[in-house]
Structures are given as structure tokens and as C-alpha cells.
Amino acid sequence: MKEHNLLNVEKNTNNKYLNYYTAHYSNKVDYYFVSRRNEQDLAINNPKKTYADAVRILPYFIENGRVYVVLIKEFRYAINRYVYGTPAGCVEKGENQRATAIREVYEEIGAKVKKIKKVAGPLYASAGLTDETISFYEAEISKPSVQHLEEGEDINVVICPLNKLLTALKTKEFCLQSRLHLEAFYYKCKANGIEK
């Protein structure tokens, strides 16, 4: 393996939520990336310190012995269209990941969490672009109700029976992380004999 010596990191923008950086390496490589973190907490400067910047939650409820997965159809400004997924959000300063997951379920789909389980993370979202890390949760919830969205959020709740989930995954446009998590959940349920 080659040796990569980081010389310094240059902050190129000064925005509130996301900034652009240049990492200068001794082998004359300049690498560009974005981060939500402040300069002291960048992963590039703290290779052994990993924490979750965000969470993604797969909410489901059981009614009359059947499992229903709650999806969201959200307008994503970066791609100028709606895409399907699962609730997600950033971990706020002083908040733990579990509390963030519970809050995001309440805000984005208007449901209360009955049981919650962390299934993965923190994992890098796209290590070639950003140092953002995400933890993944599955949550049994009450049925969705009134959303509590932030200004600028455009999120529609979509309830999908487990036995229709694979069709939805094949016919709708999903964000990658949600799609993989939903597919794993589907096969886990099938392997455990839930809804044959």
C-alpha cells in the first residue's frame, strides 16, 4: 500500500450547513470534498474518531398480523425531483443518535416509536465525496399521523404493505441507502417467516 501524507486541509467556503474543502497531500495530490462538520471535527483530521452525523430510519407497523413499511416521497432540491426513501435527518449538537431517530420519525411521518433497534453504523455515506456518516435504525411505530415538517421540507407519507415492497423497489425511484435497507428488511422478514 502507498503512503499518503496529509499536509493540510483548506476550507474553500463558509456556509452554515455544508462546506467545500481541499486536502493537500505530499504526493502532490489535491483532493476535494464536502463536509457538514466544523474544521476541528473533520474525519480527515480525526481518522480514529467516528460518530454519526445523521440517521436513517426504516419505520414499520403491524396491523391485523400484516407488516406495513412507511416510505416517504420527498422533493430533493439537489436533483430537482421527488424520490422515495425512508425518514432521515442530522444528529443535532448534544443529541444522541437514538433520540434523533425518534425525533425524525415524529417530524417526517407523524408517528411515535414503540420499539427501535440500531442495525448498522455509523457508516460513510459516500467516502469519495464527503466524510458524512450515517447510522441505520429500524423502528416499530404507531400508525402515521400529522407531520411536523420544517420549512422547505416537502415530504409525502406512503404506506406500503410488506408483500408489495419488492414491486415498489423495482418500479419507483429510491435513494440508494433506503433501497438497500428496505430490501434487506424485506428478506429478513421473509427469512423469519413474517408474512409468508
Check which CATH number belongs to the domain holding 111 and give it. Answer: 3.90.79.10
Q: Are residues 87 and 157 in the same domain?
A: yes
pTM of the predicted protein model = 0.92
| Same domain (yes/no): 39, 68 | no
61 shares its domain with 37: no
In this prediction, residue 135 carries a pLDDT of 97
132 & 63 share domain: yes
> How many Å separate Cα 69 from the centre of its chain?
16
Is 196 among the domain residues? no
**Helices (H), ranges, the chain:** 97-109, 165-171, 176-191
Looking at residue 47, what is its pLDDT?
A: 77
- Indicate if 79 and 168 belong to the same structural domain: yes
Indicate whether 32 belongs to any domain.
yes
Residue-range definition of the domain harbouring residue 177: 54-191
Residues 92 and 161 in one domain: yes
pLDDT-flagged residues of the chain (< 50): none
- What was the pLDDT predicted at 61? 97
Residues 38 and 60 in one domain: no
Q: Are residues 64 and 127 in the same domain?
A: yes
- 28 & 78 share domain: no
∠ at Cα 138 (133, 140), nearest 5°? 150
Q: Is residue 94 part of a domain?
A: yes
Contacts of 77 (CB under 8 A, 6+ apart): none
* Per-residue pLDDT at 193: 85
Residue 1 lies in a domain: no
Looking at residue 195, what is its pLDDT? 67
> Is residue 16 located within the same domain as residue 105?
no
Number of domains the chain contains:
2
Q: How far apart are the first and last CA of the chain?
A: 48
Phi, psi of 81 (to 5 degrees): -165, 170
Question: Of 109, 120, 129, which is closest to residue 55 (Cα–Cα)?
Answer: 120
The model's pLDDT over 126-172, given as tens digits with 9 standing for 90+, comes to: 999 999 999 999 999 999 999 999 999 999 999 999 999 999 999 99
% of the chain residues with pLDDT over 90: 87
Do the domain assignments include residue 130?
yes
Pair 122, 184 in one domain: yes
